[in-house]
Amino acid sequence: MSGHDVLVVAFVVLVLLGTVPVLAGVFQYALVPVHAWRNHLRRAEPYLPRVVVVVPAWNEGAVLGASLERLMGLEYPPDRLRVLVVDDASTDDTPQVVLAKADEHPGRIVHLRRAQGGQGKAHTLNHGIEHALADDWMQALLIMDADVIYRPDSLRKMTRHLADEGVGAVTAFIREGSGRPGSVARFIGYEYVTAQAAARRAQNVLGAMACLAGGAQLHSRANLEAVGGRIDTTTLAEDTFTTFLTQLDGRRVVFEPAAVVLAEEPDSVRALWKQRVRWARGNVQITRTFSDVWFRRPWPLRRGGQRLGSLTFGFVWFSIYLLPVAMTAATVGLVGLWFVSQTTALTAFRSLWWLAVVAYVFVTVTTLLLDRTTARRAWLQGLTFPGLLALVVMSAAWFPALWEVRIPALLGLEMTDDGRELWQLGLYCWPLVAMLAAFLIRTVEGVRVLRFLAVPLLYLIGFGPLLCAITLDAYVKQARGAAQTWDKTEKTGRVVG
C-alpha cells in the first residue's frame, strides 16, 4: 500500500469516528419503543414507605416557599412524609420562609441550619442524610432541589418501584417548567427530553443507568446505608457517583417517566455554561474513578442485574463523553481527504451528513412525539437544535446543486470551480468550526452592547455545538486543574406547575 493510500485510509477512519455519536444516538432512540415492553413496572406495586425529603438550600427564599407547599400537597399520606430543609448558612430570607412553612405544617417540615456554609451541595446533603438516618422512622429518602415542583402523583409513582427490594434508587423526569421561558430555557427543555425521557428509557432497557437526576432521586434506606450513608464529596458529579455505587453494589436504578418534576433552568448562555462545565468536569472525574468498570463483563448480581460494564452502555457513555473528539476527528478526516483525494472526500462528506440527516429527522420527530408538552413549547428549538447553518450543510449533502447552482442562479451569479472547492472545504470544516464558534456566543452575551446578538447566534450555530464547546472547555479546565467549585444557578421562581 502506497503512502497516499495509507493517508486516505487514515482520514476515512477519522471520518468514521465522527459517525460514532450519531450511531449511538440512533441506537438509544431505537430502544425507546422497546421500553413499552421491557421496563420495571411489572415488578412495581403500590407501596408507600415513610419518606424523608432532604432539600439543600442556600439563598433560596425566592423559590423555596412554593416548592415546600407543593410537597405538602402531594398525593401521599401526610403521616408518611417529612421534609428536612438543610439551610447552608443562607444570607437571605430562606430561614424565615422555612420556619413560616414549618409553622403551617407542624411536625412535617424541619429547618436544619448549618453553621458553616459554602462547602457545596454534597456537604449540605450529607448534613440532612445524617439527620435522617439517625432516626429509624425513615424508610426511603428523596433528594430534591429547592426550586423544583413535584407533580401531585410523582412521589407515589416513584415509590412503587421500591416495592421491589432489588431496586435501590428511582429517578424522575425533570421537565423545564418556567412560565415564560426564553430561547435558552426552551432549548434546555427540548434537550431534557432527549437526555432523560428518551435516553433514560433506553438505559432502563439496557439495565444500566448513567445518572440519577440531581433534583429527583429517591433512595431506599437499605441502599443509602449500603453506599456508606453519605454522598460523595470528592467529585462535581455526586449524583452520578451514587448512581454507579448503587448499581455496582447489586441494586437497580430505575427511571420513572411518568413521575414529572418541573424545574426552572438557566435562561442565559453564561449561566448554562457555568452549570454544564461543572457537570462535564464531574463526568471526567467519574470516568476516571470508575475506570475499572468500562467494557468489562457485568458483575454477578443478587437480583437481576446491572450492566455498567457492558459494551452497549460503554458505547453510549463514551459517545457522549468524547463528542468533541469525534467532531474534531470528522473535520480533520474530511479536510485531510480534500487534500489527498477530493473524490473520496466528497463521498465521505455526503455519507456522513446523509447519516446525520436521517438521525436528525428520526431523533427530532421521536422527541417531539415523546413529550407533547415540551413539543408545544419548544418545537422551534427542536428543529433548530443542530443550528440553522448545520441544516444548510445537511441540505448541501443531500442536494448539492441547490447551493452550488440554483441559489447562485437566483442571485444572477455562477459558482466558479475555485469557488466550489472553497465552498466544499467550508462544509467539511463545519463540525469543528461550529464547536469553536460557540465560544463566540458566550463572549458576545458578556458584552452589553452586543448582547442582543447572542440568541440569533445561538440559532445559527446551534445548541448542540454549544454543548460540545462547553464540554471541551470543561476538559481543558479539568486538565489544567482549575478550582473545583459548586456554583449555584440563580433561580427566580418562574416555575408554573
Indicate the pTM of the whole model: 0.93
Measured from the Cβ of residue 489, the count of other Cβ atoms closer than 10 Å reads 14
- Alpha-carbon distance values, 306 to 28, 119, 182, 249, 309 (Å): 17, 32, 39, 9, 8
Q: For domain 36-309, give the CATH number.
A: 3.90.550.10
Helix (H) or strand (E) holding 215: none
List Cβ neighbours of 127 (8 Å cut-off, separation of 6 or more): 86, 112, 114
Q: Describe the strand order of the beta sheet including 216-220 as a list of residue ranges.
A: 109-113, 81-87, 51-57, 140-144, 216-220, 167-176, 252-263, 149-150
Nearest of 137, 134, 162 to residue 52 by alpha carbon: 137
Contact present, 469 and 439 (Cβ < 8 Å): yes
**pLDDT in 10s for each residue of the chain, 497 residues:** 777 889 999 999 999 999 999 999 999 999 999 999 999 999 999 999 999 999 998 888 888 988 999 999 999 999 999 999 998 888 888 889 999 999 999 999 999 988 776 677 888 899 999 999 999 999 999 999 988 999 999 999 999 999 999 999 999 999 998 888 999 999 999 999 999 999 999 999 999 999 999 899 999 999 999 999 998 988 889 999 999 999 999 999 999 999 999 998 999 999 999 999 999 999 999 999 999 999 886 554 444 446 888 999 999 999 999 999 999 999 999 999 999 999 999 999 999 999 999 999 999 999 999 999 999 999 999 999 999 999 999 999 989 889 989 998 898 888 898 898 899 999 999 999 999 999 999 999 999 999 999 999 999 999 999 999 999 999 999 999 877 665 556 555 566 55
Domain ranges of the chain: 3-19+318-480, 36-309
Beta strands in 114-263, from DSSP E residues, in sequence order: 140-144, 149-150, 167-176, 216-220, 252-263
Residue pointed to by grid coordinates 439527620: 131
CA 253 to centroid of chain Cα atoms: 17
